[in-house]
Structure 1
Amino acid sequence: MRIITKLFLTSCILAAAYFGYLDYANKRFIFRYTLPKQTYKTTSPTRRDIERKKVFVGNIIPHKEIKIESYITGLVEKLLVNVGDYVRQGTPIARIKIQPDAQAIETAESKLRLASIQLDQHRNKYLRHKRLFNKKMLSKEAYESSLADWEIAKENKSAAEKNLQITKYGYTKAKGADANVIKSTTKGTVLNLPAKEGSLVQQAKNQSTGNGTSVAVIGDMDHFLFSAKVSELDVIHLTKGMSFNVILNASKEDKFRVTLTRVSPKANEKDLNNGEARFEIEGMIHRPKDSKNILRAGYIAIAEIIIEKATNVLAVQEKMIQKKEKDYFVECLEAGVPVQKKVVLGLSDGMYVEVKKGLCEQDQLIVVV
């Protein structure tokens, strides 16, 4: 009887344990499958043009800029133009007043007196020889010699008179006071007047090389250049004849096309002394005919030069790229499961990067939120 009772109790305990386990497993299964599934925000690769650019900051300068130098020494008596005036070739720029040197005047006067004495002597000699020649008492050669001496003496006196006038006034009476007026040698706009009224100007020692005092700076404001200095890392991408766009810092509405006309073969000396290697570049600005903006010399301009370009390539946002050692990956969604795909990258513009291998347009990329 006891054995039957024990077996019954044991069976009841086992049955209770079994049914308890089934209830626990069933509840766990229901809880497991009633949890919400994780969702992902996705996007697809797109085709676009990708450009790698270099940005340079430079200035707008006149195509031609001519310094008008003084060819006489003296004081600027009066400026005849103002900054911003348009002048033509031959337009008076400034009137120069000569500051006479007392010693030079005394020397010139002494030469004039000596030339007058010599002229009187040769004149009297010529008149005597003329009378003798008319009486057949003097040879023709002697008569012609005295005539030549008299003519030379007249020229010497005339030269001495002109020299005295130039020493005193800076010009001769024959040329008039206009000889002291500095005139423009080209047409353009007056950009600067370095010599002010009352300031001293020095004569250019050599007309071909100049080195005289600059009275005015004339610029061609109908045509402009873009001028900048670029580093040695950037100059290797630049070639003469290439084109690019510039935007004015003062007005970013208009873009101007620039053709590169000069790339300096040598780095700027001042920058080299400061430990930098920077090269000067210049380009001709092509202004649209309908442009209403007035260009001024000295404007700051920003140039965008396309170094590399990939057209209609498959691209993804650069922030989606993951790097592991030397390889690159993107996270994609396949059948609801995240997977990593290895990709080969190409050109990047900082926002988007070209994908050469590893993706197609149908792939679903997981967007990192």
Structure 2
Amino acid sequence: MTATPISPGPLPKKPRPRRRNGMTLALAIGAGVLALIAIWFFFLRGGDDADPYRTEAVSRGEIVRSVSASGTLEALVTVEVGSQISGQVTQVLVDYNDRVTRGQTLAVLDPQNQRSAVEQSQAQIASAQAQVSQAEAQVALAQAEYDRQKFLFDRGIVAQAALDTASASLRTARASVQSANAQVRQQQASLRANQATLGRTSITAPISGIVIDRQIEPGQTVASGLNVAVLFTLAQDLGRVQALISVDEADIGSVRLGQPVRFTVDAFANDNFTGEVTQIRMLPTAESSVVAYTVVVEADNPGERLLPGMTANADIILEQRRGVLRVPNSALRFTPAGVEAEQPTRRAGGGSGAAAPPGGGGQRSGGRGNMAASIIAELNLDAAQRAKVQPILDRAQQEARAAARAQGGGGQRRRGNNPAMAAAFNKAFDEIKPLLRPDQQTTLETLRGRFAGGGGRGTVWVLVDGEPVQRSVRTGATDGSYTEVLSGLNEGDQVITGGGPRAVNTQAQAQAARMAASGGAGRGGPRGF
């Protein structure tokens, strides 16, 4: 008998590994690595091996400090021609852009009524002259009667009453002659008035110039009244024009008569025109709570290309210095990443970056007479000039101190520029300027700019052997793009204007260190699987 093997039955299944736990761990480790790479890339990596700084060489050039404003061009002299009488226009003899001379007839009104008035006055004069003749005849008759009565009275033939009557008649006749002569003069005056009115029927040019506007046509009726209608507008001479520039109240204090002006117009965008400030009008204009003043600028107009009504975009030149050492303003603002720049040495009476006294010798502004002495030394005055200038500067210094005390003990000086000092010395500079030579006046305008905030201390970084080196400089005038350097740099120095390694984020650095110490994000995977 053969034994039949007994099937052992299904074997027990071995438990499969839990793959979900391993995949989650791998994903967590990968995410942590990516986070560390991102933190390093964006926050912890340093600069490239190549020099990343942007530099510009210190050079000599022009510094122009100006005030920008806009206005409208006008002719120097513009005359509106109207009519003093009413009437119908019969002729218009000129048109737009015609050149006319003084006294030339521009238009003619119908003269019929005025001619009739002249003829009537002539007739009235003739009538008055006839009355004079009649009165003179009456005088002759009265004189004869008086003589006869006098002859008879002398011989006792007539009484006194008859002589008195003849005398009164003679005086009356003579008075009638005077009255008749007065009537003649009155009618002559009326004739002259009517003749003048007749002459006004021809409208003539009061000046020589160009017709820039015409408001009438033949057949139109002109009515005179309190408001005379404008028939023509004449521009005297377009060889020179004036621009009415509107300057903000914050800038008007720097504008002076005689300052040069550069301007452009949209019609000739590539051409620059020059003029000169000839008038600063004191009447303010206010629009949207902004106060401005009108500055009149006169300019030559070669070829008469500039036309009345054009918009002038002007720059009023407050200060212009040529051939000065200068740096871009971006160099004064630059500081390398992770470096705290040393502040310029604090001067007495001023914070870092405050306007330095003109002498730049570290004198205390509170020292009696030091500011005035510094200005006199920099202007290089002779003995005669010094005797006149010294009292003016001493007075300005006293005014500045008094104003500073009134403002609270000089707190303005600690925060920066001192407006009281700038105003006092600016007034003094106006008095001093006529006493100086041209070269001294140039130096004076530089000092004026420093008192107004153009001078002071600053810091720049110079690239030396691939490394930034800090330099303290004394600055002068600025035009918004470049600043004059008075000391601290040499021509050709490479000042840094931008670029450089990126700043390191210390917070991100600390967070990355903590993550690295913990073994990465999600190290060990989720628990419980």
Q: Per the shorter chain, which TM-score range?
A: 0.5 to 0.7
Return the match for 1:61 from 61, 69, 74: 74
Return the match for 1:220 from 226, 236, 245: 236
Q: How does 1:29-178 map to 2 (within 5 A)?
A: 37-40=49-52, 43-97=56-110, 142=169, 146=173, 149=176, 152-153=179-180, 156=183, 171=194, 177-178=198-199
In structure 1, the gaps of 5 or more residues are 1-35, 205-210
Return the match for 1:322 from 331, 334, 359: 334
Secondary structure (helix, strand or coil) at the match of 1:266 reads strand
Counterpart-to-counterpart distance in 2, 1:45 and 1:56: 31
TM-score (norm 1): 0.64
Report the CA distance shift for 1:92/1:357 in structure 2 as closer, same or farther (over 3 A): same
Report the CA distance shift for 1:130/1:312 in structure 2 as closer, same or farther (over 3 A): closer
Task: Report if the CA contact (8 A) 2:247-2:293 is conserved.
Answer: yes
Task: Report if the CA contact (8 A) 1:119-1:150 is conserved.
Answer: no
Counterpart-to-counterpart distance in 2, 1:366 and 1:54: 29
Identity %: 20
Deviates more, 1:358-367 or 1:87-96: 358-367
Task: Report if the CA contact (8 A) 1:227-1:281 is conserved.
Answer: yes
Shift of 1:354: 3.0
Counterpart-to-counterpart distance in 2, 1:339 and 1:161: 97
Counterpart-to-counterpart distance in 1, 2:284 and 2:201: 42
Report the CA distance shift for 1:137/1:88 in structure 2 as closer, same or farther (over 3 A): farther
Match of 1:9 in 2: none
Shift of 1:322: 1.8
> Residues 108-128 of structure 1, C-alpha deviation per residue, up to 9 Å, x if partnerless?
x9xx99x97x99888777667
- Report which structure shows greater RCO (CA 8 Å, sep ≥6): 1
Aligned AA (2:299): I
Match of 1:181 in 2: 202
Aligned AA (1:349): D
Report the CA distance shift for 1:357/1:126 in structure 2 as closer, same or farther (over 3 A): closer
Counterpart-to-counterpart distance in 2, 1:346 and 1:365: 17
Report the CA distance shift for 1:148/1:93 in structure 2 as closer, same or farther (over 3 A): farther
Secondary structure (helix, strand or coil) at the match of 2:103 reads coil
Report the CA distance shift for 1:126/1:143 in structure 2 as closer, same or farther (over 3 A): farther
- Which of the two has greater helix per residue? 2
Report the CA distance shift for 1:367/1:344 in structure 2 as closer, same or farther (over 3 A): same
Aligned AA (1:334): V
TM-score (norm 2): 0.47
Return the match for 1:304 from 304, 315, 324: 315
Residue 308 (structure 2) pairs with residue 286 (structure 1): no
> Residues 112-163 of structure 1, C-alpha deviation per residue, up to 9 Å, x if partnerless?
99x97x9988877766775676787686985685476368558748967996
Aligned AA (2:253): I
Report the CA distance shift for 1:126/1:312 in structure 2 as closer, same or farther (over 3 A): closer
Secondary structure (helix, strand or coil) at the match of 2:284 reads coil
Number of equivalenced pairs: 305
Counterpart-to-counterpart distance in 1, 2:136 and 2:483: 102
Shift of 1:93: 2.5
In structure 2, the gaps of 5 or more residues are 1-47, 150-165, 345-457, 500-529
Task: Report if the CA contact (8 A) 2:85-2:200 is conserved.
Answer: no
Match of 1:275 in 2: 289
> Residues 259-282 of structure 1, C-alpha deviation per residue, up to 9 Å, x if partnerless?
2211012213xx36x422211121
- Which of the two has greater strand per residue? 1
Secondary structure (helix, strand or coil) at the match of 2:264 reads strand
Aligned AA (2:224): Q
> Residues 236-262 of structure 1, C-alpha deviation per residue, up to 9 Å, x if partnerless?
111122222333331245443322211
Residue 214 (structure 2) pairs with residue 202 (structure 1): no
